[in-house]
Amino acid sequence: MKSPYREHSRIICLLGLLSVITPFAIDMYLPAFSQVAADLKTTTSVIALSLSSYFIGFAFGQILYGPLLDRFGRKRPLYVGLIVYIVASSGCALAQDIQALIVLRFLQAIGGCAAQVAALAMVRDFFHAKESARIFSLLFLIIGISPLLASSIGSLLASSLGWRWIFAILGIYALVTLILIFALLPEGHVPDSSVSLKPGPILDVFWSILKQPQFYTYAMAGAFSFAGLFAFVSGSPILFMEKYHLGTKMFGLVFAVLVMGFIGGNQVNVFLLNRFSSQQIFFYALLFQVLMGVVLFTGTRAHLLGLPGMMVLFFFFLFSIGLTYPNAAALGMAPFSREAGSASALLGFLQAGAGSLIATAIGVLGASSIVTLLSLTPIVALVILVTSRTRITQLAESEQSVSVVH
């Protein structure tokens, strides 16, 4: 019997291309923070607000696309989102002040989040529920190269051509992806005209999903666990380039190495799922994330950590998120089939919403808040998990029927 991810390798690759649109939009311009700040005559902390605006747009855009993906199928809303992303990326490349960049990054996220929501929903479309955690992890075989490529390309472009070319390349990548999706990706969901686009029914659908105990337990716990990654991404340019005085190229290298911890966790998860359930992996990985956060916070406060020690702790902190993220997503999505688009949108909204709060707080409070906020996120996640999982009467993991529409 063929493995589902071998049989559908083309689909997984295309979903991977979609999934890295947002990581590229985030990671590529991090090494250029100081250059952007100098060019726009502001500070790196203020530039970090353009990252926060992306997260906010990414959160709210998912609520927008969820019902559209269920009503019109996956591909048509995806086309619209990618076109918005391409136009906004061009605007970012031409921005003349920080206010314009912040607004355009918000619009870029509104477009780019369509790719993330659609990719998550199509995992549920194309694969059985019990295989979805493996597919979420296998997607990171493709996503895994994005931090390395993004930070390296961003450093190269910033040092040779200037930061504006970073956004030009982001737009070109999205255009190529749009063409490939149009030509090669099958439709994963039959358009459903019964899905209402009126605010009242949409809110009713979201509320019915949100009050499902398995969804809110793992979506919320997973969101705060995942917010630790947002804290790292938002704070790393400030922490490493200002506190430790790393240059653009060295920061790109350090960032790529640390993010590989997150990718490594995802790949280890594939093997762990052969022996353990998703809920077991999520619980123990979250405990490990709490431990790493506490050690990082304590070591920083006591001034016991130099750059090497901090990098080791960051690596394992991100490694634990690589384990929690795919399992939280799989467990949260498992109860839903017909509403998979709306469920994936709400899941993404909660994740990006928690992350945007953390990123905004870092932009406002500065470097002193980074480690504190990062360490707090898994503790909140653990409290949510422990207090909410008792309300789950029957865990949904059963295999569901899968249909592919060409």
The answer to whether the Cα torsion of 275, 277, 280, 281 is positive or negative is positive
Measure CA of the first residue to CA of the last residue in the chain; give whole Å. 23
Q: Which of 375, 226, 357 is nearest to 290 (CA)?
A: 375
65-75, pLDDT tens digit by residue?
877 887 888 88
Q: How confident is the model at residue 108 (pLDDT cuts 50, 70, 90)?
A: very high
pLDDT in the model for residue 400:
38
325 occurs within a structural domain: yes
Q: Which of 111, 109, 22, 24 is nearest to 68 (CA)?
A: 111
Distance CA 226, CA 357 (A): 12
pLDDT in the model for residue 402:
33
Query: Which residues span the domain enclosing 214?
Result: 4-185+196-391
Sorted by sequence, the CB contacts under 8 Å of residue 326 that are 6+ apart come out as 133, 136, 137, 140, 266, 269
Mean pLDDT (the chain) is 83
398 occurs within a structural domain: no
329-343, pLDDT tens digit by residue?
888 887 776 666 678
Higher model confidence: residue 308 or residue 400? 308
46-56, pLDDT tens digit by residue?
888 888 899 88
The answer to whether the Cα torsion of 224, 225, 226, 231 is positive or negative is positive
Residue 172 has pLDDT above 70, yes or no: yes
The answer to whether residues 333 and 347 touch, using CB atoms and an 8 Å cutoff, is yes
Number of domains in the chain: 1
**Tokens 């920061």 belong to which residue?**
251
190 occurs within a structural domain: no
399 occurs within a structural domain: no
133 occurs within a structural domain: yes
Residue 26 has pLDDT above 80, yes or no: yes
Q: Which of 227, 239, 217 is nearest to 377 (CA)?
A: 227
What does the DSSP assignment read for 223-284? HHHHHHHHHHHHHHHHIIIIIS---HHHHHHHHHHHHHHHHHHHHHHHHHTTTS-HHHHHHH
Range 379-396 average pLDDT: 84
Radius of gyration (C-alpha) of the chain in whole angstroms:
20
What does the DSSP assignment read for 13-64? HHHHHHHTHHHHHHHTTGGGHHHHHHHTTS-HHHHHHHHHHHHHHHHHHHHH
Q: Which of 106, 14, 101, 114 is nearest to 62 (CA)?
A: 114
pLDDT in the model for residue 97:
92
166 occurs within a structural domain: yes
Q: Is 3 exposed, middle or buried (0-12, 13-18, 19+ CB in 10 A)?
A: exposed
Q: Is 189 exposed, middle or buried (0-12, 13-18, 19+ CB in 10 A)?
A: buried
272 occurs within a structural domain: yes
CATH of residue 327's domain is 1.20.1250.20
**Count of CB atoms situated within 10 Å of the CB of 271:** 11
32 occurs within a structural domain: yes
Q: How confident is the model at residue 379 (pLDDT cuts 50, 70, 90)?
A: very high
pLDDT in the model for residue 155:
85
